[in-house]
Structure 1
Amino acid sequence: MLQGSDLVRGRRTLTSVLAIACACGAANTAHAQDAAGEDSEASTAAKGGLSEIIVTARKRVESAQDVPVSVTAISAAEIADRDLTSLERVAAATPQLAIGRNATGSGAQLTLRGVGSNSLSIGTEQSIAVIVDGVYYGQGRTINEGFFDLGGIEILKGPQSLFFGKNATAGVISITTANPTDYFTASSRTSYEFNAGKLKEEVVVSGPVSDRVGFRLAARVAKDFGHLFDNRADSITYTTTDRPAAGVTNATTDHIATAPSNNGPKEREYLVRGTIDWEATDRLTATLKANVGYNRTSGTWNYAVFACDGGQSHLSPGTPCERDFALYSNNMPADIAAETRFARPDGDNFNKYSSWGVTGTLEYDLDALTITSVTNYQWNRNTWSLDIDYQSASSPALNIWGTEVSDYNAFSEELRVLSDFDGAFNFLLGGYYQTSERGFEQNVLFAGFENSEAPDGFRYVAYAKDSSTEGETLSAYGQAIVELIPDTLEITGGARYIHETKDSIFVQPYAHPLLAGSRYAVDDPLTAKQTFDNWSPEATLTWTPSETVTVYGAYKTAYKSGGFSNSSIQSPTTPLEFFLFEPEKAKGFEVGLKTDLLDRQLRFNVTGYIYKFTDLQVTYLDSAALAYNSINAGSAKTKGVEVEFAYAPYAVPGLELSGSANYNHARYGTALAPCYGGQSFDAGCIPNLLSIGTPGQDLDGKPTSDAPDWTGSLGARYEADLNQSMKYGLSVNARYSSDYLPSAFGAPLSRQDEYVSLDAGVRFGAIDDTWQLALIGKNLTNQFVATGVTDGSGTGSGTGTNMAVPADQVGFISMPRTVTLQLTLQIP
């Protein structure tokens, strides 16, 4: 339970952060007042006041201040000014949103208001739906797409099933890419980040082809010449013993596992997106978007073993566990890699992500009705080879490597009709269809296993896994909109129905002869056919007493798909039920007040909410067995208050201050879950609680993952003319978070301390925007922030006893300080 002292400390720290940022804003204000005194008729600087922000949170175009939804909208200009060109950077700038990159599992952990999906299993889908140009992207590996040339980002908080479908129990990140312009323009943005030595080039060409056809082509290429995380491992010797059959032992062989130099992230990427707009008639428009992407990094570059019982690694005694941007990781020995499927011949650690997709949108305007069709096909493949003990283990018996290939493809079609009648009644009706397929193949190498008689690709493999899931979703949704008092009081009600099937298969095609049959089942496929049905209703009452005030109350529900643990482990006695998990559901209430005051100089919004989540999906690592498995842990409840403001005074044109203060109390309810690795009996790990031989813990009252009680932000932006041909801009943004547990299982070692991160930027350029030079700093306070954790593989012992030793905590760490110099050229 949150103690009074914790509340006081959180409030004091948050107040300090706001004071610091206000001081920065005050300095900018003084400067702005001097500039405002100059007589410049040709000035193109802002005139002051707040601009209207347009969103599509309810599948129709509305002002963010009018829509009865808790939404944070980020404009294209702010994305460019702050270089928010990845989901991780967006999260680092958004209180209560946390995103952790994971090379393994689902590829990412997305959490909002303390609810999300930890990233350990590829079989789970995110509780925060990522929507790109109206299309659902359900895989955590979407984080690798890299987002640029954007039209805007909307972060919708809380359950959003009605408009965005399944897997939106915690919220939605809706991303809109830029569309063609009605005039010709071309731009080049070249940037260099000094810490990672990242050189990046973005090029955009856009304009009309004819009176009715427009195009836009955008491309980005980037390469790291330096690094953000230091690899401090030394080369080690890994000894294998050839045992082609039980009772047969041949020669032992020493292999050298080298340490990569300056490991992390060494990113290389290219992204290309093309868009064509066609106004076929005055009523029918068509848009076609196609994209292709490639991203390669040096494996587990952001994994840090940052907390260990006793302060030292259990796999590498003498190596400190520190909150530092460092890792200890070895390449797979080259001679072993050459005989292991999916590994690079040189044994280097890597993560490679490739993708492409096509989206076609048709919109037909019938005056009072608008019919919209969105069709999409998407494909991605992720391949990695990693040191998955993460600690450069000193004993060959403790070294662990893995390799994996996973594929995902999906086809979807959405058709909806939106009315715009003059009367009191309007409606939205829609249908959605999706088919998807996920494939997964993995090898794990450990303990010096070798088999000279193994099939090709398996000689040094201890065990291998192959799995796939085919899914089909049919959904229908509708909303009725009734104005009880015209332009003043509106009530809406709607629901979404979802029918979903998933067909899965899991098999272990190989295990070393000493493990096959005793520890791992081999060539014994498990198959599952799952069917899920769900109704997600919601209702909202909105009162608009004036054009500048909106008050609303909403009841919302949501649904997240159940599934199959594709990356689990099958022993000879493992039942099929071990691989299955049920849907996650959410329901609750939200109230909000949105205001534009002082002739639209001040924007002040308040949101209160309380939501309950049932059958919460979590994934745990049995660190001793190297098994990942997803389960339904039970219930959780979130409740809180969010306050945000923006102030742009007419007296100081070009200045805007903004900020937020948020309290969120996210705690488990009735929730029985596995123990964290090395949790003792005295610490709450109860033998045989989950089943005979399986210890567990009661999480009731414990915080959920990534759930700080207090978060806040404060920022200041100022833009003014320098002279008749040049202008300049300044910005500073601070974010505060109180402490929290990145662990979904209450592991106390994982605790992330409270922190303040600071971003800032300065830019100079031409008044007509033909060129701009900017210097952008992120995490200038160089805060070490763990956004997710897993127990260190092979660590943690005595679970459920009072002789337990807690597992080492491996964190997914946000980026350290970065400073980027950016040059933008634009025609015209």
Structure 2
Amino acid sequence: MKATLRAAALAGTVSLIALAQPALAQDAAVPAEAEATSLDEAPPGEIVVTAQKRSERLQDVPVAVSVLSGEQLGSASRPSVESAAQQVPALNFLKSGTTLNQTIFLRGVGTASFSIAGEPSVSTVVDGVVYARSGEAFSDLVDIDRLEVLRGPQGTLFGKNASAGVLNITTKMPKVGEFGGTLEASYFDRKEYRGKAAVNVPLGENAAGRFTAFYGNYAGNIRNLTAGKRVNGYEHYGARAQFLYEPSDALRLYATADYHKNDDDCCADIIATGPLTGAGAPTTNLAFNVLPTPRGAKTRRITQDLITATKERGWGVSLQADVGVGTHTLTSITAYRDWDNTEIRDGDWLDRAYVGFNQLHDNGPQRTHTLTQELRLTSPANQVISYVLGGYYSNAYSRRVFTRNDVVCTAVTGAPTNVLIPCGSPNANPSTTPSGTADFGSRFKNYAAFGQATLNATDTFRLIGGLRYSKDDLSVFHKRVATGLAVSGGLPQAAPGIQPNFDQGVYDRYLALVATGVSPTTAAAQAVTASNGVAFRTKTTADNLSGKISAQFDFTRDHMGYLSYTRGYKGPAYNIFFNLTATGTNRISPETSDAFEIGLKNTLLDGRMTLNLALFRADYHNFQANNPDLVAGVVVTRFTNAGEVSTRGIEADMNWRPFDDFTLNGGVAYTKARVDRFNAPAGAATIPPRTPLGYAPKWKGSLAADYRWRTGGAIDVWLGASTNFQSSQLSLFAANAVQRQLGTIPKYALVNAQIGFGDPDDTWRITAQVRNLTDKEYAAAIINGGPGGSYRYQIPRDADRYIGVTGRLNF
């Protein structure tokens, strides 16, 4: 309650300051978000975005922004952030076994960590609501108007978890006075079915509602020989209800509620290489007697006795009010979101436990709920000084109860050698079943006041400046209980993947032993006997003042240039995960960045073409990543302040409509994201300078063409083709050079094509498409640590050629 009152007081103070500013006109302002037009209807030179918390022409915004329409997202393999990464060169996506561990990268910068107390570097915002966990936005993007990808630090207006950029997603809004909707059904080979429906309903003279529902089911692209079925598929369904009330130009109320449920048997790691030595040389290993033959990125078979899966449920409600206050607009956005995600994982990748190959099965449900409140005041744009002022509060709580179960056995005396011996067979001693369960979580509270102002010095020259003050309160807890562990010297010894008990008693005893001069290694081993069943707790606070300054000059109305400097910020963190030990409990300091950008936005050919260029450099300090580190004299590898990294490059975005029924759009990015200096203790392996960052291909591009042939008859024809390509990228960001080499995803290009038929009024349309026309196989992620030193791959749906057909009815 106190936190809520503090947030309300902060927001109220900001609003009172803003209201004290003099008004330059008497007419009520139109609510900012109400001005945006559908991207599918706008010519290239008139695309409207809300990248600066007000509706503006994309060509007038001094920020590098890529924009995808709902139509472009809908034509992808599945309308999602993962698919959007194929269409935006600066955007990359780390695919993992669960959405909890998947990550977005922009310009090569992202945060990949298993910690429940670390935040993303790329913020996801849906209809003005910031998602605390980016994984919540990795579900289906249905009935979307546009997705804006804002590159570079965007914390001034969007908050602290936007240190690398923002995905700003806008759904299709209800329309007052209109009745209509869309029904759509799709079938793709390998048994994938998708359907969605949306209807816009007038609710009186000044109100409307929009109701959306979707369903999808896919058998999967990997054959599990043990289970006798395909896996890496999904079943998704959900719904959204939106309500809009606009009684006058000075008042707009928008409310929305959404729900989704995902049941994915995804995403199992395939064993894509044979056994390898630490130097990367082929070797032998008994596990490969039961594993499918590895074929690199062509591998499509596994033998696992537990179906790796993600079970997810999420819902949320929000209310936005836009109120005209004189010439200004006062906006309030209140939101609550609840997200449950359960990871089920086979961590041994075999069909059962064998002597020397222990079974390792994980089950980790996590629940997150977030309350946010934003209050801001937006001035008219057409005055000498225009501005946005606001206050923000967020309270995000996450808790996970993670259990790891092992099955371990040894061979009996006289058992045959050089053969696999199943646990439970006559040649195996009775199995033991060590287990560990950790109950851990975090609470992030954030309070912020922000403002950004534009000085319209002349008709063609503007100065933009912004500041954001943030205060972070982060608290964490952790308790692990392990059972069935071996005992040696009176102390429990860790089972495969399971550390002994950890709690407040263990931590306090560890500190006391270290204080008496006991070595940290010995202290950590001895402290486990002091377990008291009380959760370990710690907390930290941080505050920060960050912001931006930029200059913008209109050479003509069709050619604009800008230069900007931005100070980015991401708050403190802890490395809170299943196997936390006393040596990994220290605070991870906030990450900051200094970013420079020069951009040129061009509107050509009477508004039919836009060509936007951006040259950028950003230096990140106290970069939060997994890295070798020294804690109390012990070398560990964990989530920490890894050091200094930088990213630099040049980007181009193009949208061209040569004539009304033909569109070309695409982009290309050259990115050099690399390590400048990594922190590492003496004697520990470190990632050398100039090593590329993970998921940062040097070259990446995309190009799409769409043409409508108006035949003059009863049926028109739609033709479309697209391609995306990227150079090689590092998937395994490790200190070991051999691991980096084997963990590099080779370059690849994908080609897609489609043809559609429909009536001239576009009341109905049937579209056939082929994805990955050239059947180019590739891995979305490469991880080490498979049986016998092998490497594990994540194989996405689009790594195989497949075809599909979609029928759509508009009414």
The yes-or-no answer on 1:552 pairing with 2:531 is no
State the partner residue of 2:672.
665
What code does the residue aligned with 1:818 have? Y
The yes-or-no answer on 1:639 pairing with 2:648 is yes
The yes-or-no answer on 1:194 pairing with 2:151 is no
State the partner residue of 1:246.
none
User: Against the structure 1 CA distance between its residues 362 and 354, is the aligned structure 2 distance closer, same or farther, given a 3 Å change threshold?
Assistant: same
State the partner residue of 1:57.
51
The yes-or-no answer on 1:478 pairing with 2:451 is yes
Q: CA deviation at 1:820?
A: 2.1
The yes-or-no answer on 1:402 pairing with 2:362 is yes
1:239-294 CA-to-partner distances (Å, cap 9, x unmatched) read xxxxxxxxxxxxxxxxxxxx223332231111100001112444111111100110
Query: In 2, are the aligned partners of 1:118 and 1:618 still within 8 Å (CA)?
Result: yes
User: Against the structure 1 CA distance between its residues 349 and 605, is the aligned structure 2 distance closer, same or farther, given a 3 Å change threshold?
Assistant: closer
Q: CA deviation at 1:415?
A: 0.3
State the partner residue of 2:386.
426
Q: SS of the residue aligned with 1:323?
A: helix
Query: In 1, are the aligned partners of 2:389 and 2:452 still within 8 Å (CA)?
Result: yes
**2:606 aligned to which of 599, 605, 611:** 599
What code does the residue aligned with 1:819 have? I
The yes-or-no answer on 1:767 pairing with 2:760 is yes
**1:630 aligned to which of 639, 653, 662:** 639
State the partner residue of 1:133.
127
State the partner residue of 1:344.
none
Separation in 2, partners of 1:628, 1:275: 46
Q: CA deviation at 1:720?
A: 2.3
Separation in 1, partners of 2:671, 2:560: 23
**2:464 aligned to which of 487, 492, 497:** 492
User: Against the structure 1 CA distance between its residues 110 and 788, is the aligned structure 2 distance closer, same or farther, given a 3 Å change threshold?
Assistant: farther
Q: CA deviation at 1:760?
A: 1.8
What code does the residue aligned with 1:218 have? T
Structure 1-normalised TM-score? Answer: 0.79
Query: In 2, are the aligned partners of 1:271 and 1:294 still within 8 Å (CA)?
Result: yes
Q: CA deviation at 1:134?
A: 0.9
**1:446 aligned to which of 382, 394, 406:** 406
The yes-or-no answer on 1:178 pairing with 2:175 is no
Segments of structure 2 that go 5 or more residues without pairing to the other structure are: 1-39, 411-430, 505-535, 630-635
The yes-or-no answer on 1:291 pairing with 2:258 is yes
Q: CA deviation at 1:509?
A: 2.3
State the partner residue of 1:577.
585
1:722-761 matched pairs, under 5 angstroms: 722-745=711-734, 747-761=740-754
Q: CA deviation at 1:422?
A: 4.5
What code does the residue aligned with 1:502 have? L
User: Against the structure 1 CA distance between its residues 177 and 48, is the aligned structure 2 distance closer, same or farther, given a 3 Å change threshold?
Assistant: closer
State the partner residue of 1:345.
none
Separation in 1, partners of 2:106, 2:685: 26
Q: CA deviation at 1:776?
A: 2.6
Q: CA deviation at 1:395?
A: 3.1
State the partner residue of 2:771.
778
Separation in 2, partners of 1:408, 1:313: 44
State the partner residue of 2:440.
467
State the partner residue of 1:330.
304
Separation in 2, partners of 1:47, 1:701: 45
The yes-or-no answer on 1:437 pairing with 2:397 is yes
Query: In 2, are the aligned partners of 1:672 and 1:696 still within 8 Å (CA)?
Result: no
Separation in 2, partners of 1:403, 1:48: 48
Q: SS of the residue aligned with 1:227?
A: coil
Query: In 2, are the aligned partners of 1:481 and 1:493 still within 8 Å (CA)?
Result: yes
Separation in 2, partners of 1:51, 1:83: 28
Query: In 1, are the aligned partners of 2:393 and 2:446 still within 8 Å (CA)?
Result: yes
Q: CA deviation at 1:184?
A: 0.5
The alignment covers a number of residue pairs equal to 695
State the partner residue of 1:353.
312
**1:76 aligned to which of 53, 70, 77:** 70
1:324-368 CA-to-partner distances (Å, cap 9, x unmatched) read 252524224xxxxxxxxxxxxxxx543200111001110012352
Separation in 1, partners of 2:200, 2:750: 36
1:364-390 CA-to-partner distances (Å, cap 9, x unmatched) read 123521111111100111113221133
Q: CA deviation at 1:698?
A: 3.6
Separation in 2, partners of 1:582, 1:280: 48
Query: In 1, are the aligned partners of 2:608 and 2:658 still within 8 Å (CA)?
Result: yes
1:687-738 CA-to-partner distances (Å, cap 9, x unmatched) read x637xxxx33143110100111111222221112123433221111111111
The yes-or-no answer on 1:386 pairing with 2:345 is yes
Q: SS of the residue aligned with 1:356?
A: strand
Separation in 2, partners of 1:621, 1:323: 30
1:237-386 matched pairs, under 5 angstroms: 259-301=226-268, 305-306=272-273, 309=276, 310=281, 316-317=287-288, 319=291, 320-321=293-294, 322-332=296-306, 348-386=307-345
Query: In 2, are the aligned partners of 1:737 and 1:754 still within 8 Å (CA)?
Result: yes
Query: In 1, are the aligned partners of 2:547 and 2:567 still within 8 Å (CA)?
Result: yes
What code does the residue aligned with 1:474 have? Y
Separation in 2, partners of 1:535, 1:394: 54
User: Against the structure 1 CA distance between its residues 202 and 593, is the aligned structure 2 distance closer, same or farther, given a 3 Å change threshold?
Assistant: same
Query: In 1, are the aligned partners of 2:198 and 2:212 still within 8 Å (CA)?
Result: yes
Q: SS of the residue aligned with 1:77?
A: helix
Q: SS of the residue aligned with 1:317?
A: helix
State the partner residue of 2:3.
none
What code does the residue aligned with 1:354 have? R
Q: CA deviation at 1:511?
A: 3.1
Separation in 2, partners of 1:763, 1:212: 37
Q: CA deviation at 1:496?
A: 0.8
Separation in 2, partners of 1:181, 1:449: 65
Q: CA deviation at 1:96?
A: 3.0
State the partner residue of 1:168.
162
User: Against the structure 1 CA distance between its residues 83 and 568, is the aligned structure 2 distance closer, same or farther, given a 3 Å change threshold?
Assistant: closer
**2:501 aligned to which of 519, 522, 539:** 522
Separation in 1, partners of 2:104, 2:274: 22
Q: CA deviation at 1:795?
A: 5.8
Query: In 2, are the aligned partners of 1:792 and 1:808 still within 8 Å (CA)?
Result: yes
Query: In 1, are the aligned partners of 2:617 and 2:649 still within 8 Å (CA)?
Result: yes
Query: In 1, are the aligned partners of 2:353 and 2:408 still within 8 Å (CA)?
Result: no
1:683-702 matched pairs, under 5 angstroms: 689=682, 695-702=684-691
User: Against the structure 1 CA distance between its residues 396 and 463, is the aligned structure 2 distance closer, same or farther, given a 3 Å change threshold?
Assistant: farther
Q: SS of the residue aligned with 2:477?
A: strand
State the partner residue of 2:37.
none
Segments of structure 1 that go 5 or more residues without pairing to the other structure are: 1-45, 234-258, 333-347, 451-457, 674-687, 797-806
Structure 2-normalised TM-score? Answer: 0.81
Query: In 2, are the aligned partners of 1:408 and 1:438 still within 8 Å (CA)?
Result: yes
The yes-or-no answer on 1:211 pairing with 2:205 is yes
Q: CA deviation at 1:621?
A: 11
User: Against the structure 1 CA distance between its residues 317 and 447, is the aligned structure 2 distance closer, same or farther, given a 3 Å change threshold?
Assistant: same
Separation in 2, partners of 1:713, 1:466: 44
The farther-off stretch of 299-308 and 58-67 is 299-308
Q: Percent identity?
A: 24
Query: In 1, are the aligned partners of 2:156 and 2:547 still within 8 Å (CA)?
Result: yes
User: Against the structure 1 CA distance between its residues 153 and 421, is the aligned structure 2 distance closer, same or farther, given a 3 Å change threshold?
Assistant: closer
Separation in 2, partners of 1:53, 1:715: 18
- What is the aligned-residue RMSD (CA, Å)? 2.8
Separation in 2, partners of 1:392, 1:112: 38
What code does the residue aligned with 2:809 have? L
What code does the residue aligned with 2:553 have? W
State the partner residue of 1:33.
none
User: Against the structure 1 CA distance between its residues 169 and 327, is the aligned structure 2 distance closer, same or farther, given a 3 Å change threshold?
Assistant: farther
Query: In 1, are the aligned partners of 2:407 and 2:434 still within 8 Å (CA)?
Result: no
Query: In 2, are the aligned partners of 1:435 and 1:470 still within 8 Å (CA)?
Result: yes
Separation in 1, partners of 2:54, 2:315: 27
The yes-or-no answer on 1:823 pairing with 2:790 is no
